[in-house]
A = this chain, B = another copy of it.
């Protein structure tokens, strides 16, 4: 990501001043620190989940490992998941597949904020809509030809800021290239499952 280095500052656009709510100097210093000490880059994120009733469960996200040590979020974040009434659930939360969609939007949007700051672009607005198409014949066991998960996901961004449209589009493209969620969703990831019963 040579665009994130400070090799060729082009004042004023490439100035690493704080921008968009991003402490750009600290962000760049962090990247340099990890570059010098790659073991700092190893992170482990976690969630705990508990079944409540029917298809309703609640997850908690609180601690994680990274940058050589244990961390806690400022507070524990709790999330409910459920199925809606039309799928015989009690609708106490979104379906788990809806949680996937906002994770994708959140990841790409965070990247846009950081990359714009490093590139000296002030953002005015970034909004997105994510849609996922799924044929429930898979999870309902009605067809062996239909996959369980989404058949496709589309995300549409509207972005405005103090740069030409082409530069704004490049922010989204660079964020896509460096998005952890986009990578996992498009390329898959090994998942191992253990059960104590």
Q: Which residues of B contact A130 (CB under 8 A)?
A: 46-49
Tell which of B1, B169, B189 touches A197, judged by Cβ atoms closer than 8 Å: B169
Each complex incorporates copies of this chain amounting to 2
Docked-complex contact B97 and A103, CB < 8 angstroms: yes
Could you name 29 residue pairs across A and B whose Cβ atoms are closer than 8 Å?
Answer: A31-B141, A34-B137, A38-B143, A41-B137, A41-B140, A46-B101, A47-B101, A47-B130, A55-B110, A57-B106, A74-B91, A81-B106, A81-B107, A81-B109, A89-B110, A96-B103, A96-B180, A99-B100, A104-B191, A132-B189, A134-B180, A148-B182, A149-B189, A150-B189, A158-B196, A158-B197, A166-B197, A176-B193, A185-B191
Tell which of B38, B42, B180, B191 touches A153, judged by Cβ atoms closer than 8 Å: B191
**Chain A interface residue bracket vs B:** 35 or more
A4-B140, A186-B191 known; 5 other A-B pairs, CB under 8 Å? A20-B54, A46-B131, A50-B125, A96-B107, A138-B180
